Structure 1
């Protein structure tokens, strides 16, 4: 019984180091505007909204969004979840764990995410990025104590940020329709497929470590705990808060910023 408990603790600690898919799939886009204190709901009536937007000359915010009504409903659900559950949980997380500890968690997650980066950089034909990520993984896993410290960055070896969605973009796949995913937020058909690919890789990593440690039971519970910590750590670094932009066109603005950022991400790969 004691040996089994020790194994579970070891696996949970290791999975604190396994990369977030994220959303989780990648670095969260910076869609932050200064809070104004004025909170306004996102409109769910497309026709009146379109009329208002034309009057305000905001057509430049248009993005291919054939599932507009559904996406707006999911956006509102995410806002309610964020306000009622996610943010309170993040506040507890940031209170319990001091900033240096959270920084160590972020570094360790980024370190094992180098495996994902190496794979996708290879598929993109980016040899220099493959070598850079390999050196980072080697240095941070040794001198950085399993990635808790980012010594590679201190030595001028900067982290490469890429994902399966970026690989699909480099291969010529267009973004497709805009979509808002429950809990995950802004995405597209291509980015959703990329998220599925990153999730599959994470699943393989998790089961590989389970097999090494000989853990047969409790995998679901340990995985849920690891995913929760990754999610809280990611959300704590994103200052965006729903319905605090002071604009009735917040949904349109977030959609535009996300889509534009993803276009630039693909161009930089």
Structure 2
């Protein structure tokens, strides 16, 4: 009898962790946390300081982009019957999410002038226009836009740009001295973000196909095979880079650990929790910042 209590407590803790991860994923809060984690690691690599307002702007911008993309695909009549928790939540709460999205957008616009230097405005405006055009294309011509511009590529590119934006801005022009290292880190983060997006698309392939959503996984004849090769190629490339001594060893190591986690959970984790856990694994960089 006494041995049952620790096991029961462990199972209860595991259920609570699962509920927390699913709640973060359903509310699109995991993506901002991941962006903040990698921003901290990039700032540590560049020896750049970050303002609190810059952290808030990154978190809000990331949430607005991810939640906005999810709202574009929200169709209440279908999402309420979906097997995916995030689809069901978006379908049942679309109006509330739209109102919250509007409030977040206004708050972000008010904070941006505080967080951003004048020299960075042209870059920020250009990125904003590109995102608006992408969203408009997906709204007006969803099937064509998703096929011509894969969501996985857009999300990965945005993620890298957002995570590097303030550390580079705050350390400009000194960051040019670490140009090759920064480029390698950016390419690494893009590959990792792409692998994460592609993995989630592969795990949700059947449901996305049922909902008539276009992803690389729904168009790929052997998504599992492609996912394994992509993650294995990333791990191998990062391992070689670490052994050769190219770039930031800490950055590359945590990127490799995140890629390994994606590969392992493809077989050993419940399909329901995989997407949320895949995003949670990308929070590993905070360990480096915490113990540095």
TM-score, scaled relative to structure 1: 0.30
TM-score, scaled relative to structure 2: 0.28
Q: Which of 1 and 2 has higher RCO (CA within 8 Å, sep 6+)?
A: 1
